[in-house]
């Protein structure tokens, strides 16, 4: 077997070639990516080339390391330095626990408070070190439940022969696992790092997304192979998180009196943004001009000024010159005083990017692909033209606060509340997936304050009647909570919902219409009629077009998407808000 030192020299040769392939356009692709093998059936020096497919997630450095005493087990790590510039490489090991190996992707926002509360003796400045101390003292389940943040981790305990996997509540950080019938386990931030892993089994090994909010325990055998012995949920989005008792915000006033609720919403939202300021790299914010991104950007700028950041917060919008989003974002940026960037976007540029976008997404969901193109292109601009690396965004608000237009048609407040929870649980397949892959493709670190645990659990605890659309306006409670605060312009606070994939182009012709016109020339009726797909068969030419690209990169992997995203309670054949009979654009747009 090739020695690891020799392999590392070889790996540098592979990096440029494979990252060029990953970028989809011949240029080197540039967050943090984790990868691990336990019980590999093949030479590690061969297997490790697969890890280079996620090099874009960590452009600052990378490392592969064998596990002592297990010649067929290793970790791979691609690093984007965000918090600790000196001690940031992984797998993380410290002198106090030489038998523990940690490879993780994420940010733990309460690591300082937990360290102080339990008087842990730290060796590094890394937020992830808290996982080692918590595991040693409390075990894996309590460790995971005390983490306030977003994360995906692989934790190896060689002393007790255990391997642990875990992923945050909403799956903000991605993780996939592959396991063969004979106990070979492979784990990676993105599925593309596992598709070409070789193994000795005659039957194909299934690659699956690791379930959000869960941890899994494996016994590690002397052979390096593993056996799954426990898979459990450590947190549900409808419950108050266990780490809430160690939060910086004191217990909130109780009761459902409207003014109390509105005050609590403001307090928790500000706290959600505040804790996410943790970074040594420049912070920016995506700004579509909709309610959610506008609230995030405005709160971010306010808190950045209070924290006396040494630079202005940059905001970024993308769209055609007359797009509703660009015009609205311009108003918000002027109001909050951000350093605003507008990225010009044409349908032709978007169409050219679809292929590489689907490669990075690892999905063929229609609305996800549509919405990802603009986010992918604005992320590309941020990486190439600015020094912002930590990017705030408004993901999660629509699912939490019933922001989709179809919620106007909910048969009851209880039905709407139940669908809100369903959407949150499925975020890892749709909006959260889009937000992660499009930013990580360009080495950016995503922050999503609307998915803060305390904020979401509080909002979901409110009476169902308080959370439904009111007076013909969706997200009425959230809007009302910030009414009169002058955080964002009132006209933006009450702006109607506009799907991102629609709002980035002209009101005259939306992005999805431009896409469909192009696809009409690429796919004929016969191709669609003859298409044979047993899982999620495409019903439209657009769905067929995306599926064909997906199958080119990930043949036979359609089960990664359980179903297409579609509105409920209304006869819809397309996920675009503009196709719904209840869609009414703002008059001033």
Q: Is 393 annotated as a binding residue?
A: yes
Q: What is the mean pLDDT of residues 193-200?
A: 94
| Lowest mean pLDDT segment, chosen from 54-58, 134-138, 339-343, 481-485 | 54-58
Task: For the sheet with 445-447, list strands across it.
Answer: 339-344, 314-319, 282-286, 388-392, 445-447
Q: Is 148 annotated as a binding residue?
A: no
Residue 583 confidence (pLDDT) = 58
- Judge residue 309's burial from the number of C-beta atoms within 10 Å of its C-beta, 0-12 exposed, 13-18 middle, 19 or more buried: middle
Half-sphere exposure in the Cβ direction for 269 (13 Å, CA)? 28
What average pLDDT does the structure give for the chain? Answer: 89
The pair of structure tokens assigned to 290 is 């909709």
Chain position carrying tokens 């990252």: 19
| Lowest mean pLDDT segment, chosen from 159-173, 174-188, 503-517, 574-588 | 574-588
Asked if residues 74 and 48 have their Cβ atoms less than 8 Å apart, the reply is yes
Residue-wise pLDDT tens digits, 197-255: 999 888 888 999 999 999 999 999 999 999 999 999 999 999 999 999 988 888 899 99
Nearest 10 degrees: Cα torsion 470, 475, 478, 484: -60
Asked if residues 502 and 491 have their Cβ atoms less than 8 Å apart, the reply is no
Q: What is the mean pLDDT of residues 400-419?
A: 97
Residue 79 confidence (pLDDT) = 81
Q: What is the mean pLDDT of residues 269-296?
A: 95
Closest CA to 64 of 42, 80, 49: 49
Residue 501 confidence (pLDDT) = 53
In the chain, pLDDT over 90 holds for what percent of residues? 76
d(CA 188, CA 400) in angstroms, rounded, equals 28
Our answer to whether residue 73 is catalytic in this structure is no
Residue 28 confidence (pLDDT) = 22
The set of long-range contacts for 568-575, using a CB threshold of 8 Å and a minimum separation of 24, is 568/406, 568/409, 568/410, 568/419, 569/406, 569/409, 569/410, 569/411, 569/415, 570/406, 570/409, 572/406, 573/539, 573/540, 574/366, 574/512, 574/540, 575/366, 575/367, 575/370
**pTM summary value:** 0.91
Residue 10 confidence (pLDDT) = 35
Reply yes or no on whether the pLDDT at 1 is more than 50.
no
d(CA 490, CA 484) in angstroms, rounded, equals 8
Q: What is the mean pLDDT of residues 314-336?
A: 92
The pair of structure tokens assigned to 190 is 């993105």
Q: Is 182 helix (H, G, I), strand (E, B) or coil?
A: coil
d(CA 162, CA 343) in angstroms, rounded, equals 48
Reply yes or no on whether the pLDDT at 579 is more than 60.
no
Q: What is the mean pLDDT of residues 409-428?
A: 98
Q: Is 424 annotated as a binding residue?
A: no
Residue-wise pLDDT tens digits, 384-401: 999 999 999 999 999 999
- Who contacts 144 (Cβ-Cβ below 8 Å, separation ≥6)? 166, 215, 234, 235
Reply yes or no on whether the pLDDT at 29 is more than 50.
no
Reply yes or no on whether the pLDDT at 561 is more than 50.
yes
Residue-wise pLDDT tens digits, 53-71: 998 998 777 888 999 889 8
Residue-wise pLDDT tens digits, 241-275: 999 998 888 889 999 999 999 999 999 999 999 99
pLDDT band at 425 (very low <50, low <70, confident <90, very high): very high
Q: What is the mean pLDDT of residues 15-31?
A: 33
- Who contacts 266 (Cβ-Cβ below 8 Å, separation ≥6)? 481, 482, 485
Find out whether the peptide bond into 241 is cis, omega within 30 degrees of 0: no
Residue 346 confidence (pLDDT) = 84
First to last CA, the chain: 65
Residue-wise pLDDT tens digits, 489-545: 999 999 987 655 555 656 567 787 888 899 999 999 999 999 999 999 999 999 999
pLDDT band at 383 (very low <50, low <70, confident <90, very high): very high
d(CA 548, CA 529) in angstroms, rounded, equals 14
d(CA 177, CA 208) in angstroms, rounded, equals 6
Residue 505 confidence (pLDDT) = 59
Catalytic residue among 32, 103, 237, 514: 32
Q: Is 131 annotated as a binding residue?
A: no
Residue 62 confidence (pLDDT) = 85
Residue 32 confidence (pLDDT) = 85
Residue 11 confidence (pLDDT) = 41
Rg of the chain's alpha carbons, rounded to an integer?
A: 23
d(CA 76, CA 78) in angstroms, rounded, equals 7
Q: Is 224 annotated as a binding residue?
A: no
Residue-wise pLDDT tens digits, 70-121: 989 999 988 876 655 556 679 999 999 999 999 999 999 999 999 999 999 9
Reply yes or no on whether the pLDDT at 582 is more than 70.
no
Task: For the sheet with 176-179, list strands across it.
Answer: 61-67, 70-79, 33-38, 185-188, 176-179, 207-209
Distances (CA, A) of 121 to 112, 400, 448: 11, 38, 30
The set of long-range contacts for 516-519, using a CB threshold of 8 Å and a minimum separation of 24, is 516/541, 516/542, 518/347, 518/351, 519/545
d(CA 167, CA 152) in angstroms, rounded, equals 4
Q: What is the mean pLDDT of residues 155-162?
A: 98
């Amino acid at each position: 077997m090739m020695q690891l030192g020799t392999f590392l020299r070889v790996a540098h040769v592979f990096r440029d070639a494979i990252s060029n392939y990953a970028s989809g356009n011949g240029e080197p692709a540039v967050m943090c990516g984790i990868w691990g093998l336990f019980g590999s059936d093949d030479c590690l020096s061969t297997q490790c080339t697969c890890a280079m497919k996620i090099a874009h997630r960590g452009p600052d450095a990378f490392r592969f390391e064998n596990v002592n005493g297990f010649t067929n087990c290793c970790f791979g790590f691609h690093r984007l330095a965000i918090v600790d510039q000196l001690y940031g490489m992984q797998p993380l090991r410290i002198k106090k626990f030489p038998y523990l190996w940690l490879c993780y992707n994420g940010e733990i926002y309460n690591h300082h408070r937990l360290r102080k509360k339990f008087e842990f003796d730290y060796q590094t400045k890394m937020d992830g070190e808290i996982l080692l101390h918590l595991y040693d003292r409390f075990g894996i389940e309590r460790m995971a439940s005390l983490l306030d943040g977003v994360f995906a981790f692989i934790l190896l305990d060689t002393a007790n022969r255990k391997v642990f996997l875990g992923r945050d509540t909403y799956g903000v950080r991605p993780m996939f696992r592959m396991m063969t019938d004979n106990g070979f386990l492979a784990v990676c931030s993105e599925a593309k790092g596992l598709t070409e892993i070789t193994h000795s089994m005659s039957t194909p090994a299934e690659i699956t997304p690791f379930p959000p909010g869960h941890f899994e325990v494996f016994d590690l055998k002397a052979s390096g192979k593993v056996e799954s012995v426990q898979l459990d949920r450590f947190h549900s989005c409808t419950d108050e998180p266990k780490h809430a008792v160690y939060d910086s915000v004191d217990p909130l006033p109780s009761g459902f009196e409207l003014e109390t609720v509105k005050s609590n919403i403001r307090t928790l939202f500000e706290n959600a943004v505040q804790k996410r300021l943790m970074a040594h790299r420049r912070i920016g914010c995506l700004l579509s001009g909709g309610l959610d991104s506008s609230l995030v950007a405005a709160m971010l700028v306010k808190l950045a000024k209070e924290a006396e950041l040494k630079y202005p917060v940059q905001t970024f919008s993308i769209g055609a010159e007359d797009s509703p989003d660009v015009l609205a974002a311009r108003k918000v940026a002027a109001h909050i005083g951000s350093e605003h960037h507008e990225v010009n976007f044409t349908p032709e540029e978007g169409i050219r990017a679809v292929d590489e976008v689907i490669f990075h997404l690892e999905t063929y969901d229609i609305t996800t692909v549509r919405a990802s193109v603009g986010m992918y292109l604005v992320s590309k601009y941020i990486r190439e033209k600015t020094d912002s690396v930590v990017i705030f965004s408004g993901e999660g608000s629509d699912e939490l606060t019933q922001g989709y237009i179809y919620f106007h048609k909910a048969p009851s407040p209880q039905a709407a509340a139940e669908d809100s929870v369903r959407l949150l649980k499925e975020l890892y397949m749709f909006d959260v997936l889009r937000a992660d892959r499009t930013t990580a493709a360009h080495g950016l670190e995503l922050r999503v304050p609307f998915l803060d645990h305390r904020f979401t659990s509080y909002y979901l605890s409110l009476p169902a009647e308080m959370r439904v659309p009111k007076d013909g306006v969706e997200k009425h409670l959230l809007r009302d909570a910030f009414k009169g605060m002058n955080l964002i312009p009132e006209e933006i606070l009450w702006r109607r919902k506009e799907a991102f994939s629609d709002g980035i182009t002209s009101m005259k012709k939306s992005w999805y219409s431009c896409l469909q016109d192009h696809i009409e020339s690429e796919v004929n009726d016969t191709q669609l009629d003859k298409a044979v797909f047993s899982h999620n068969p495409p019903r439209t030419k657009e769905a067929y077009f995306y599926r064909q690209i997906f199958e080119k990169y990930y043949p036979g992997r359609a089960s990664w998407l359980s179903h297409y995203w579609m509105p409920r309670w209304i006869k819809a054949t397309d996920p675009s808000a503009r196709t719904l009979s209840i869609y009414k654009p703002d008059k001033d747009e």
